[in-house]
């Protein structure tokens, strides 16, 4: 059979070509997004307050007029990818211009708003994060390094962060911006904190999540546990109920009613996760001062592969991408419910409950 003079075989081959080229050149989408953030385009459109034309955008960007066509082409791809929308402005039919407005995605990139995911988007394309992908093929045939990150940089991710303060700041800002999304759901998770008087946020970084939780539950006492170089400049959290503690979760986790891990488990191998979870279990069943043992819970916020929401293409793809990110940059992985259950059993826990939150994340409560 033929369609418009072309055989079905040829049509299929050219579709396959487009599919290959799309994925081979997908880095263009990432870099164009980073460029828009670098140029401050979302905030300029937001400040403009109405659809903005290319000439006005170029003027606001303080760029020479001859860059107008380049800006137009940038905006055309970003609009196609859903970061902006365009509308025809009311002029004579032959002179109608496109006016660009924000979408839900670009509103999440506004540097003047919270949540603001710009730091995460820029962190994702930082040269340090991109370098391991260039040596991934070589890493598969090597035995010396545990990750492609180590192949590229000569040290594991956490050691690299420890010795590179500038990149460490980029890393922490990216993670903190991601944590801002919890603002949208923390109050809806109120039942999770019922009966919890003390909480340890393990790997809590800058304390973004801890502060959000304390905003909703001000009577809670919260400790942010992270590596010493992460919390070195945070002796206090601006609240008598928040403290920062330098330490190593593989060695010890302070006793509390609840131990929380947000985006921690996927950083580590199964063996390392079992070690972490056992320390968490010790912390929630420690003896009280009166000799009575308490039984708390471990709270995990992270991705669960194969969950019901995975029928959405973007969410499924992003979960699989995160899985590879963990392989390339750490020794970790994303996991299915059955894989989580195996970790919990090996760590001495008896039961758990998974609650999908929104998008990529689920909330898992694990009980001793």
Our separate counts of H helices and E strands in the chain read 17, 13
Buried b (16+ CB within 10 A) or exposed e, 87-101: eeeeeeeeeeebbbb
Question: Which are the contacts of 131, defined by CB distance < 8 A and separation ≥ 6?
Answer: 152, 153
Residue 66 designated active-site:
no
Distance CA 42, CA 102 (A): 7
Determine which one of 46, 153, 263, 266 is catalytic. 266
Closest CA to 135 of 149, 146, 123: 149
Instruction: Give the separation between CA 277 and CA 104, rounded to whole angstroms.
Output: 37
What is the DSSP secondary-structure string of 116-160?
--HHHHHHHT-HHHHHHHHTHHHHHT-SS-SSHHHHHHSS-HHHH
E strands in 227-339 = 242-246, 258-262, 297-302, 304-305, 335-336
Rounded Cα–Cα distance for residues 104 and 313 (Å): 18
Catalytic residues: 266
């Amino acid at each position: 059979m033929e369609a418009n003079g072309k055989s079905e075989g040829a049509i299929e081959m050219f579709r396959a070509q487009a599919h290959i080229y799309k994925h081979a050149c997908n880095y263009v989408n990432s870099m164009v997004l980073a460029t828009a953030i670098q140029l401050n385009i979302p905030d300029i459109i937001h400040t403009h307050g109405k659809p903005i034309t290319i000439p006005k955008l170029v003027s606001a960007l303080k760029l020479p007029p001859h860059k107008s066509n380049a800006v137009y082409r940038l905006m055309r791809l970003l609009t196609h990818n859903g970061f902006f929308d365009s509308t025809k402005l009311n002029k004579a039919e032959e002179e109608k211009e496109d006016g660009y407005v924000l979408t839900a995605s670009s509103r999440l990139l506004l540097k003047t708003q919270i949540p603001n995911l710009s730091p995460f988007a820029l962190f994702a394309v930082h040269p340090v994060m991109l370098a391991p992908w260039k040596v991934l093929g070589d890493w598969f045939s090597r035995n010396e390094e545990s990750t492609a990150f180590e192949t590229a940089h000569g040290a594991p991710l956490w050691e690299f962060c420890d010795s590179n303060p500038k990149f460490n700041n980029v890393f922490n800002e990216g993670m903190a911006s991601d944590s801002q999304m919890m603002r949208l759901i923390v109050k809806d998770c109120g039942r999770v904190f019922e009966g919890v008087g003390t909480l340890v946020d393990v790997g809590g970084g800058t304390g973004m999540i801890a502060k959000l939780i304390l905003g909703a539950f001000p009577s809670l006492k919260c400790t942010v546990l992270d590596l010493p170089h992460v919390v070195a400049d945070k002796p206090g959290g601006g609240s008598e109920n928040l403290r920062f503690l330098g330490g190593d979760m593989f060695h010890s986790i302070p006793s509390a009613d609840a131990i929380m891990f947000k985006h921690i488990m996927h950083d580590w191998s199964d063996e390392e996760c079992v070690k972490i979870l056992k320390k968490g279990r010790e912390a929630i069943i420690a003896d009280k001062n009166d000799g009575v043992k308490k039984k708390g819970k471990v709270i995990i916020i992270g991705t669960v592969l194969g969950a019901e929401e995975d029928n959405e293409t973007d969410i499924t793809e992003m979960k699989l991408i995160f899985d590879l990110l963990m392989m390339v940059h750490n020794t970790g992985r994303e996991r299915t419910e059955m894989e989580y259950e195996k970790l919990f059993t090996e760590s001495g826990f008896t039961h758990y409950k998974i609650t999908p939150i929104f998008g990529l994340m689920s909330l898992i409560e694990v009980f001793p």
